[in-house]
Amino acid sequence: MLLRTLVLFTMIFIAGCDETEVRFTPSAECEQGIIKLIDTADTSIDAAVYSISNDNIVNALYRAHNRGVKLRILTDRLQASGKYSKVPEMYKSGLNVKVNTANKIEHNKFAVFDGAKVVTGSYNWTTSATKSNSENCLFILQKSDSVADYQDRFNELWQKNSYVKSDKWLKKRLEKQFQE
């Protein structure tokens, strides 16, 4: 009974907070919400995302880069080598991308926008996540301790993954792509 009351209270609290939004797929809601945050970011976007192959999200990242937003994108090495991955293209185009070299898998799926907003959840930045998969995303739209925790975690992951190892891997991947 106590557990049920606590769960109900938590659901009512989250639903009643204007600073959070929950979205589910298959639908374009997660994709559109992420693009909106990218398009409205003023200074920085820090993303730790397992898989990146969604053209719409990647195009929004290019727009942000072109308007001078500081990007830091950390992704999984194995996923970055996938047939549909946009990571090699993003790296080649000059976006600030690192592949994970510190942990076995970079399985996070979160991004921090201007140090003030976060998107997190199971949603991968892929077309399949939007159109076919059952996934979720939670938007935290107001600066809070939770946003600061995500920023701290991203900074820690970014620091642990070296440019030297990441660049070496990405250059090797680009060479292999060119040969295919």
Q: Catalytic amino acids?
A: 107, 109, 114
User: Cα dihedral angle (166, 84, 107, 97), rounded to 10 degrees?
Assistant: 30
| 54 within 8 A of 31, measured Cβ to Cβ | yes
Helices (H), ranges, the chain: 2-16, 29-40, 55-66, 77-80, 87-92, 127-131, 145-160, 163-179
CA dist., res. 58 & res. 168, Å (int)? 22
CA dist., res. 27 & res. 128, Å (int)? 10
